[in-house]
């Protein structure tokens, strides 16, 4: 009987927590506007993730996210994406964020429409050559 009460208590607590979480919806117009300029769709408030509607029209800076893993899904365009190696001229630009001019001795991959790549936290990465525009979702997981 005690085990049954414990299980019921866990189920009720879990169901209550699930109801407390809110569904977040972004209509197509909002998503399209976010991709037009590259913007954060969801800032992660109260969660361990963020969602970006990202846009690249040219090569970017090399990056290292100390705490965040990037899950990247390419929607359109193509790029040479470099991972690993070391960041050239790396500087801390925000807490737990390092930026630099390039990645040295990394692995290059050609990414295009439909590709997904997961960049673990602490891994240098760089959009080196960009065939603009490159539109991609990034889910940042902490």
Q: What's CA 3's distance to the chain center, in Å?
A: 42
Q: CB-based contacts of 76: which residues, under 8 Å, 6+ apart?
A: 113, 133, 134, 135
Tokens of 72: 């990247």
**2-141 is classed CATH 2.60.120.10:** yes
| pLDDT, block means (10 residues), the chain with 142 residues | 46 47 93 97 94 97 98 98 98 98 98 98 98 96 96
- The per-residue pLDDT for 14 is 43
Q: What's CA 13's distance to the chain center, in Å?
A: 31
CA distances in angstroms from 119 to 24, 61, 66, 134, listed in the order given: 25, 15, 11, 17
Domain boundaries, the chain: 2-141
Asked, as a colleague might, if the bond just before 133 is cis with ω within 30 of 0, I would say yes
- The per-residue pLDDT for 22 is 87
Q: CB-based contacts of 34: which residues, under 8 Å, 6+ apart?
A: 26, 40, 41, 53
- Model's pTM, two decimal places? 0.84
Write out the H or E segment, with its range, that includes residue 108.
Answer: strand 107-112
């Amino acid at each position: 009987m005690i085990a049954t009460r414990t299980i019921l208590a866990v189920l009720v607590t879990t169901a209550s927590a699930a109801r407390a979480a809110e569904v977040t919806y972004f209509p197509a117009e909002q998503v399209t506007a976010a991709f037009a300029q590259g913007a954060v769709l969801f800032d992660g408030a109260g969660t361990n993730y963020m969602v970006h509607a990202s846009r690249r029209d040219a090569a970017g800076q090399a990056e290292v996210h100390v705490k965040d893993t990037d899950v990247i899904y390419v929607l359109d365009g193509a790029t040479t994406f470099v991972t690993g190696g070391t960041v050239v001229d790396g500087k801390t630009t925000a807490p737990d964020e390092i930026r630099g001019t390039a990645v040295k001795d990394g692995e290059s991959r050609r990414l295009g429409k439909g590709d997904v790549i997961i960049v673990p936290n602490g891994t240098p990465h760089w959009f080196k050559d960009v065939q603009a525009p490159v539109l991609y979702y990034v889910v940042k997981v902490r």
